[in-house]
Amino acid sequence: MAADRVGAPARAWQRMLSGRRLDLLDPSPLDIEISDIAHGLARVARWNGQTSGEHAFSVAQHSLLVEALFCDLVPEASADARLAALLHDAPEYVIGDMISPFKSVMGGSYKDCELRLQRAIHLRFSLPPEPTAALRKEIKRADQIAAYFEATLLAGFSAAEATEFFGRPRGFNADRFDFTPRSVTWAQNAFLKRFSAIETSRHQVSAPAIG
């Protein structure tokens, strides 16, 4: 990553392709665009890129997988809950996907930055800044199921090793879900398409009845 020149003004913001300038330490919901999120997540690799296949398995594709698993776990979930599942890793569009062992070394400062970004993203899309404990638990469960299958199918983990870290999923057949690493363009477009579909559902629920 390029460094600012010596003597340049201190900054904690990043210019996004949408034209927004996002302050990473004090993010405003007004500076968050779904196009930037999709663009970024489609270019961030899960597992530090250490996965098999022609393409990296992106965070955008992982997010789609987690949302699909979440819907399977909670078929009655609201559109708001499905959107929260889709956006569960959205802060990574600017801070990247730091693997769990390194997160523990970094400590609280990384987590604080991640939480501020997550709250701003939720507010931008009219979600509660903090999901309920019950919703967070179900999304985490879907996330761990995704991690187990990604680990064993793509990242070279044995079943025993993946079970130790993520638990062994019960009642899930990996063949029902897409684990083929896709291109950046595919992942970006698929993420935007799913976001649009969920948003349409949300608006239909909130629209007042006519007549």
What is the pLDDT, as a whole number, of residue 205? 74
Distances (CA, A) of 10 to 3, 14, 91: 11, 12, 22
Q: Is pLDDT at 106 greater than 90 in this prediction?
A: no
Q: In the chain, where are the structural domains located?
A: 26-198
Fold of 26-198: Hypothetical protein af1432 (1.10.3210)
Q: Is pLDDT at 209 greater than 50 in this prediction?
A: no
Tens digits of residue pLDDT in 120-137: 999 999 999 999 999 999
58, 43 contact by CB (below 8 A)? yes
Residue 93: which residues within 8 A CB-CB, separation 6 or more? Answer: 36, 37, 38, 39, 40, 41, 44, 59
